[in-house]
Each structure stands twice: as structure tokens, then as C-alpha cells.
Amino acid sequence: MKYLLQLCLVVFICAACNCQSGPAKTKVVPVTNPNQVIATTTDTSAVAVSHDTLLNDYALFLAGMQPMNAKNIPSKIINNQLYKKYATEMDANFLKIDQNRLSLMRSWAKTELKNEQEHPLTLFYPFSGPDILHALAFYPNANNYVMIAMERPGDIPNIQKMDSAQSAYYLNSVYTSLQDIFEKSYFITHKMMNDLQKVKVNGVTPLLVVFLERTGHSVVAIHKCHLNDNGTTSQLAADSVPNHVNDFIEIYFRTQGTDTLRKITYFRANLGDEGFEGLPSLKQNKTLQTYLINMPDHYMYAKSASYLMNYKTFSAIRDVCLAKSKSILQDDTGIGFTYIDKKVWKVKLYGHYVTPVRDFKGVYDESLAKAYAADTLAVKPLNFSLGYHWGNINNQNLMKAERIAK
């Protein structure tokens, strides 16, 4: 795609549904009408989620797939050679990562995350960026994926308003943003912050819906919301930009062939103990901190998290994760091993622990190295590459911590 599209300046017109959100705890229910999905909240009120078929076709288009209704995408942009090449390259890349990584992860998870899959809960994924892709591979049945990162939520462009040049530029930006996921399995933060600027992909939402469509899901609706100081949520206008503190988006989706409504809840927030890039710290942001503390029972997942929860300056988010999670799956870049109380958690180790990559100095964990060396027969192998050591399958590590029942 690099050589195809050397075009610039695209006018994006955002399209989204109004948000009608209940409390944070949500119970999923079957769909009785394919165009009217109901999500029932814990206070017994009901939130109507209209199935936006136009939005789903936009998501399919961005994913390089054919829309359900051909009339929803202008023929001039879906029938041209540039889009056909884009679709072909997306097919090839997603097939490759599915064969080399995702299928192996899914197979591994059927055994090692059997309980989590058979008893699905909310999945909490801090420092996630737009990476719903790997979360779905490990936790395919979660009812809500709560994701928090520094990238802006953004929006889906009005594709019907695009001409061929504009759509080509936008699709090239999407493709470029996915290169590190295709090759390495993670987004590089500083590159992602640049790629997701307004004149490019405009936030994580376009990438989230691409991953949903490419993993056998259909996008039902996108809501823009705000978390109020008292813990309630309010709808934002459809044409608003969710850039304020405690704004968030909800992407409702369902697995193709099923009636169960599920969602991604994505916050742009600073999870550190100190303010950063104009955002308050988690310690200062009592509203978000309360939301996280009051989340329903959940599992936690972290990978390629820059070792932030190894540091004292990320104590608040680390404390939340350790206090609330029923189980934790992470590589060594997540919560520092020394913070995981072995009287509280039963830890299983996988793969090999090696010196962190050179971009991260001073985070080698002696206690984790000793744990790997203490009983090598208890350490299970990994047969897939995931994380910063993507170039060498023998340098991969994961740990699973399960809370010990009292």
C-alpha cells in the first residue's frame, strides 16, 4: 500500500449513534429482533441499542471486506483497483497472523484459560491501545472489554462523503497503523499517537472495528458517553468529540451467528500516579478510580505494557488490578512479579524469561528469573510469539495468576 497512495488532506465527517448508557455493570441478553438489541442493566432498566447496519458496512469496508448492503458504500471507491488491492493485502496479512499467532493463542487458551472461557466475565485490559485483537483470542466470550490507553477514541468517517482520493488516503493510513500488529503483535506507542491523529485514522475506533470484523464479529452500534462524577453516565451528542476527561466510547457488537450483545468500553485516560499530557493522574481522577474499583468481577490482561506497573509511579492502577481481578494474564511488562503476593495468588509460568529488550533498561526482575529457575519442570512451553521479543519464539513469556479461594 505504501506506493499506492501518496495523497493528502481528507475531510472527515463523523458518523455515530447517540449514546444511551446505564450503569457500568451490564448483563447481556439474547437478541429478539435483529435490528433492536436490548442490553439490560443491573437496575432492571433497559437500554435500547439500535442495530446500525450502515455503521457495520463502514466497518466492513475499513476491514477490506464486502459490505452487507452494496448501496451503503459508493461504487466508485469499492470497485476501484486501489480498494481491491487493499482488500487483498488485508486478507493476506490477517490470514498470516491467524495462522502464525492467533490460532495458536486460541488453542493455548482453550486449556490454560479454560475456566475464564467457560465462565465469561468482564475483561479489564489496561494500557491496551486499540488491541482488541489479542484480547479476543484469549478471552473470546467476555461480556465487556474495558480498555484504557492514552490514544484518543476518535470516530468512524462518513465514507459516503468520500471521493476516491480521500478514501485511498484514509485506507492507506489504516493499513500503515496496522503494520506493527501484523509484524510484532503490539502497537508502538509513539508511532500510534502519530498515526491516530485527526488527519489520519482519527483515533482507535476505526482500528477496533477492523479487528472486530476480521475476527468474525458484527458491529452493532457505537455510543459516545461521559462518566459523571457521581458514577452515572451521560450521552454525548452524535457529532461531539470525546476528548474530555472521563469521556469514553462503547462499541456494541455480536459474534456472527449468535444473538448475544457484547461491548468494548474504551477510555482515554492517564493511569499513572502523576499528571501526563494534560490528563489528571489516576489518583487525582477519583471518578475513574471509583469506576474501576466498582467494576463487576473480572479478569485482567496485560501485554507489551512498557513495564509501567513495575514502577512505584503506577501504584494506583496496580493496586486496583490486584484488588479486583479474579485472575491475571500478563507478560513480564505488566505488574511487577514482586508485587504479586504468593499467599494471595497461585502463579503459573510459561515460556522463558530473558532480559528485557534494550528499549527498557533497569526492569530486569530477579525475583521472576528465580521463579522460572526454581522449578523448570513446572514451567509450561509457549508455541506462539507475542510481545516485545517477537523476533524469537524462545524468548516469550507469560504468567497467569489465579486468586486463591479463601
pLDDT at 27 > cutoff 80: no
- Most confident option among 14-18, 198-202, 329-333: 329-333
Alpha-carbon distance of 238 to 290, in angstroms, equals: 27
pLDDT of residue 269: 97
Interval 295-336: pLDDT, tens: 999 999 999 899 999 999 999 999 999 998 999 999 999 999
Please say if the pLDDT value at position 111 is more than 60: yes
pLDDT of residue 179: 86
Do 223 and 7 form a contact (C-beta atoms < 8 A)? no
Residue 189, CB half-sphere, CA atoms under 13 Å: how many?
A: 11
Looking at every residue in the chain, the average pLDDT score rounds to 85
Reference 398, options 131, 113, 132, 103; nearest CA is 113
Spatial separation of the C-alpha atoms in residues 68 and 188, rounded to whole Å: 33
pLDDT-derived band at 217 (thresholds 50, 70, 90) equals: very high
pLDDT tens track for 219-250: 999 999 999 999 999 989 878 888 899 999 99
CA separation, residue 13 to residues 9, 62, 158, 203, 221 (Å): 13, 15, 5, 14, 17
Answer whether residue 194 shows pLDDT above 80: no
User: How distant, in Å, are the alpha carbons of 18, 196, 346 from that of 151?
Assistant: 22, 7, 33
* 104 burial via Cβ count (<10 Å: 0-12, 13-18, 19+): middle
Q: In the structure, what pLDDT confidence band is assigned to residue 392 with cuts at 50, 70 and 90?
A: confident
- More confident: 154 or 190: 154
Cα(188)–Cα(150) distance, integer angstroms: 12
Amino acid 385: pLDDT: 85
Instruction: Return the bridge partners of 325, or none.
Output: 298
| pLDDT greater than 80 at residue 38 | no
- pLDDT value of position 359: 83
Tens digit of pLDDT for each residue in 125-156?
Answer: 999 999 999 999 999 999 999 999 999 999 99
Give 8's pLDDT tier (boundaries 50, 70, 90): very low
pLDDT of residue 43 exceeding 80, the answer is no
- Residue 340 predicted with pLDDT over 90: yes
pLDDT band at 393 (very low <50, low <70, confident <90, very high): confident
